[in-house]
Homo-oligomer: A and B are copies of this chain.
């Protein structure tokens, strides 16, 4: 399976209005706090890997019978690009009962927390696309349009479709940002992280 994803800077309020006009369905709203680790024995920026512990809180929608906010933690490893064209990479993921314990295991093993990405996300379904409105701490607001396709041959058409969705939302595909939030944060973080890590896509959301 191939994930096609395009991302641009955008004002969330304006896009939310357009989504309502287009009849998109609101899926959920979550908060994600992601800790990315540096390895003691490898330069992930060079090997194009990422190790992440995520805390996600699914926001209650306040309706009757709603169980309230629900939180979980998740451990994720992302491997280097398997195939550059389609940007596919190996991803291994499991929920963990205790996110602090997962952090503590990696820190005890010599992995250092390199950066934390905090964001509020609202997800909408629009035809075969997921439209995500992100407010990323320290970076601002973004809109992502993504979809999955079965074969590499469908990637190009899906990307064109995602661009079309962006235009429908009043946004310009030419503003596409290919750098991950992690990359953007590390690049903004100053010279000590600036050599190349901003180009890494392993931190993609």
A binding-site residues for B, Cβ under 8 Å: 39-42, 49, 51, 75, 77, 79, 90, 92-99, 101-102, 104-105, 108-110
Query: In the complex, what distance in Å separates the CA atom of A39 from the CA atom of B93?
Result: 20
Q: Do A98 and B102 touch (CB < 8 A)?
A: no
Q: Do A97 and B95 touch (CB < 8 A)?
A: yes
How many copies of this chain does the complex contain? 2
Q: Do A41 and B94 touch (CB < 8 A)?
A: no
Query: In the complex, what distance in Å separates the CA atom of A75 from the CA atom of B97?
Result: 10
Q: Do B96 and A94 touch (CB < 8 A)?
A: yes
Query: In the complex, what distance in Å separates the CA atom of A170 from the CA atom of B17?
Result: 78
CB distance from A157 to the nearest CB of B (A): 32
Q: Do A77 and B104 touch (CB < 8 A)?
A: yes
Q: Contacts A94-B97, A96-B95, A97-B94 given: A39-B102 contact, CB under 8 Å? A: no
Residue of B nearest to A106 (CB): B77
Best-surrounded residue of A51, A94, A105 (most CB of chain B within 10 A): A94
**A-B CB contact pairs (8 Å), 26 listed:** A39-B109, A40-B41, A41-B110, A42-B109, A42-B110, A51-B105, A51-B109, A75-B102, A77-B104, A77-B108, A77-B109, A90-B108, A92-B101, A92-B104, A92-B105, A93-B98, A93-B101, A94-B96, A94-B97, A94-B98, A94-B101, A94-B102, A95-B96, A95-B97, A96-B96, A96-B97
